[in-house]
Amino acid sequence: MMIKDLGSGVVSVWEGLRPETKKMLVGVLESKSVPTQTPTQKYSYDAHADWELSRLLSALDEQSKAAVSRKNSEKLDEIAQLAETCVRVLESQSGSAEVFIQLAERAIKKHDYDKLDKLSDHLAERFSAGEIAEVVRQTEVPQIRAIAYETLAMLPVSLLVPLLDDPLYADIAANSLEQKAFEFDSDEARDVLEQFEFENEMRGE
């Protein structure tokens, strides 16, 4: 695969990648398999790599639209191959709300609901309560909000309580506790929610 043939936008992002990120991508691309453990065994992965891969995936998706308009099937195949490599690594590694939204939106646009279910599992397994709440806060897509709220409602009450003290997430946490209290019949969630509402009333909120 020649990166220079994939369009100026992709080339620009690729050239800005750190060498270790390029090596990781090439390694996963050549292996042609989803890492069952994780790429961190051979390659370092950090928040910067997360950001780099997200940007590259966005550039590839944008370039694929141009390739479609020119009906360049060979280029489309190469773009799709590299994009899927980015997706596989991000799915196995990322704990970022922004990346989750990006991947979920791609799955919805492709009507790939198996992928969306897989992403939902990752959200529950890997993401912190704060990052899941951030998904709710950032997305405008009803399906993604519903997935994030459902995931929050399945978390232990003890993980939701700290969010009530954060102005960004207090309403989200309260909504999740309400769902947990009435849909999952949690007395603990109901008690915390009543206390939260009482304190708000005392403060005149």
Q: CA torsion angle for 43, 37, 91, 124 (degrees, to 10)?
A: -130
Query: Are 149 and 176 contacting, i.e. CB atoms less than 8 angstroms apart?
Result: yes
83 residue type, one letter: A
Phi, psi (deg, nearest 5) at residue 106? -65, -45
Tell me what pLDDT residue 67 has.
66
Per-residue pLDDT tens digits for 22-55: 999 988 888 765 454 444 445 678 899 999 999 9
Query: Are 60 and 6 contacting, i.e. CB atoms less than 8 angstroms apart?
Result: yes
Please report where in the chains the tokens 């051979």 appear, as a residue. 42
Q: Is 60 exceeded by the pLDDT of residue 99?
A: yes
38 residue type, one letter: T
Tell me what pLDDT residue 39 has.
45
- Segment 136-150 shows an average pLDDT of 97
pTM (two decimals): 0.87
